[in-house]
Amino acid sequence: MKTYTKKEEMESTLMEKHVPVIKAPEKVKAGEEFEVIINIGENVPHPNRVEHHIKWIQVFAEVEGRSYNPVHIATFDFGPTFAEPKVKFRMKLEKSLSLIVLEYCNLHGVWENSVKIEVE
């Protein structure tokens, strides 16, 4: 499956509307809750019409030292025109990981971004 990332060479406004922006701490304490915010089209709003919208956001983790990765964390499903593609949730970790976010635009496909979170 082809996913697009911010590393792809393409029109910058297309990237700004689609690449998930992930706000999460770089370091957390083991077992303590923290907040993650994911926004699609943070600086350039993504259209939210029936004919062009973000359908879903999925969150996965590649956990350090785990034999089988990735681990599914969450899926957020959006209805066009009503739900905006921005989510906030809380989680806690025991091991460091890469948080991977995929989003699906009904016209432009699947886009990906990731951040590393270190457990102290």
Among 96, 94, 89, which residue's Cα sits nearest to residue 57? 89
Catalytic residues: 16-18, 46, 52, 105, 108
Q: Are 1 and 86 in contact (CB under 8 A)?
A: no
Q: CA of 3: how far to CAs of 6, 25, 29, 57, in Å? A: 10, 25, 31, 13
